[in-house]
Amino acid sequence: MSSKTVAIIGASRHPEKFSHKAIKAFLQSGYKVYPINPEAKEIAGLKSYANLELLPQPVKEISIYVPPAVTIGILQSLVDYPVEKIYLNPGSADDIVRDLATKLGLPVVEACSIRSQGYDPDML
């Protein structure tokens, strides 16, 4: 099993959505990917989970694709989670989210997680 693990929070079943493309990018980069979407049983052929607490193992990285109002709650729940990197993808952060992440001391990177894997979202 890959030692590289990532949860895609806000994963979409729709291939044209960035959160779906992120699944493909991380898979192609050798990651074990866990889609997080409370309304889906499966996404991109992978079992989907309602939340991080239901994952079979903690993940090292988290990529967030939800609006800032939802991101705030997610960040608060990650204070004691053993994550190494949290991607705040475009559209998931605002000044309140940024301030909270700083205050909580979370390992946040505000960037497109697809591009971080060396892929162009338009090509996936």
pLDDT the model gives residue 1: 52
119 to each of 69, 73, 80, 107, 124, how far by Cα in Å?
28, 29, 31, 22, 8
Q: What is the CATH number of the domain that holds 75?
A: 3.40.50.720
Q: Which two tokens stand for residue 80?
A: 């004691």
Query: Strand 46-47 vs strand 42-43: parallel, antiparallel, or unpaired?
Result: antiparallel
Of 65, 7, 9, 49, the closest CA to residue 32 belongs to 7
pLDDT in tens, 12-64: 999 999 999 999 999 999 999 999 999 999 999 999 999 999 999 999 999 99
Q: Which domain holds residue 111?
A: 5-123
pLDDT the model gives residue 40: 96
pLDDT the model gives residue 18: 97
pLDDT in tens, 82-103: 999 999 999 999 999 999 999 9
pLDDT the model gives residue 88: 98
CA–CA–CA angle 50, 52, 54 (5° rounding): 65
The answer to whether 35 and 44 are in contact (CB under 8 A) is: yes
Domain count along the chain: 1
Of 20, 22, 34, 27, the closest CA to residue 87 belongs to 22
pLDDT at 2 over 80: no
pLDDT the model gives residue 76: 95
pLDDT the model gives residue 61: 98
pLDDT the model gives residue 7: 98
